[in-house]
Amino acid sequence: MLVLRLLNVVAPAYFLCISLVTFVLQIFLFIPSMFRDPSTTPLFSPALLHGALFLFLSANAMGNYVLVIQSSPEDLGKDLNLGKGAEVVDWLDGSRSPGSVLPRTHFCRLCARVTQRHDHHCFFTGNCIGSRNMRNFIMFCLYTSLACLDSLMAGMAYISATLSMSFADPLAFLTLLPHSISQFFSGALLSSEMFVILMLYLWLGIGLACAGFCCHQMLLILRGQTRYQVRKGMVVRARPWRENLQEVFGKRWLLGLLIPVLNVESDCHRQKGK
């Protein structure tokens, strides 16, 4: 448990550090290097278009990241007026926590609260993912993967221009790291260039991981399931996939796709249901 609590603090700091490094490389290295082409007009230059795209992706990723943290799943234990002397019971999911057995709930020991429609505990946000912040979490994963892949393309263009190499061969990217390590220790490669090459593989890994996690999460939403229910083998009531999507994204899903906003409509719907 101590290791998990330490990871719950280190992982968000690691993500923020990677985000800061990515932003600095994009703004102060990759984008200025694109202005070297004098044949393009200032209005439609690749640098300005790429900069606008990167800022859009970054703003949505960080905006939804903040909303995931702020819109924490509600602590249902507070509504039950649970004190220190509350009875400890066995929950339907097999865990032990204070309070009464409620449907579609789970007690997270890291957060020390009972959350509605618990999916999993995200260490990179230091928060549980449940009914209130599921949509923002999916948007966070989506835009993080797009921002990483965008940085990967910009970094490859920068390395290609700086080292005068081509990535036309599919094996060029796979052999880039071992060749760069040998050149770095021989003194033929600068430390800044080696750092950018290492960041390329980091962006590739984070981008693919977030994209795969987002696709898997969407598949579970279409089925009306959560990761916790699948892991515990819990049976869920079959519903149409449109209702499952609306429960998470709400009717105004397009607004949440373009800008980071809270799913207020879904919260109001749940309050009416109570």
Q: Can you give the pLDDT at residue 270?
A: 46
Residue 127 half-sphere exposure, CB side, CA atoms within 13 Å?
A: 20
Show the low-confidence residues of the chain (pLDDT under 70): 36-44, 72-104, 263-274
Contact yes or no for 61/143 (Cβ under 8 A): yes
Closest CA to 263 of 166, 136, 154, 90: 136
59 is written with which tokens?
A: 């703003």
pLDDT of residue 40: 53
Q: Where are the domains of the chain?
A: 1-35+45-77+102-265
Q: What is the pLDDT of residue 198?
A: 96
Q: DSSP secondary-structure letter at 75?
A: -
Task: Give pLDDT, residue 80.
Answer: 46
| Nearest residue to 18 via CA among 115, 114, 147, 167 | 147
Quick one: three-class SS letters along 163-231?
Answer: HCCCCCCHHHHHCHHHHHHHHHHCCCCCHHHHHHHHHHHHHHHHHHHHHHHHHHHHHHHHHCCCHHHHH
Cα 93 from chain centroid (whole Å): 26
Q: What is the pLDDT of residue 42?
A: 61
Q: In the chain, where does DSSP find H-type helix?
A: 2-25, 31-34, 46-70, 76-79, 134-163, 170-174, 176-185, 191-223, 227-232, 241-249, 253-258, 264-273
Residue with tokens 């052999």: 175
Q: Report pTM.
A: 0.84
Closest CA to 144 of 15, 261, 47: 15
**Active-site amino acid positions:** 122
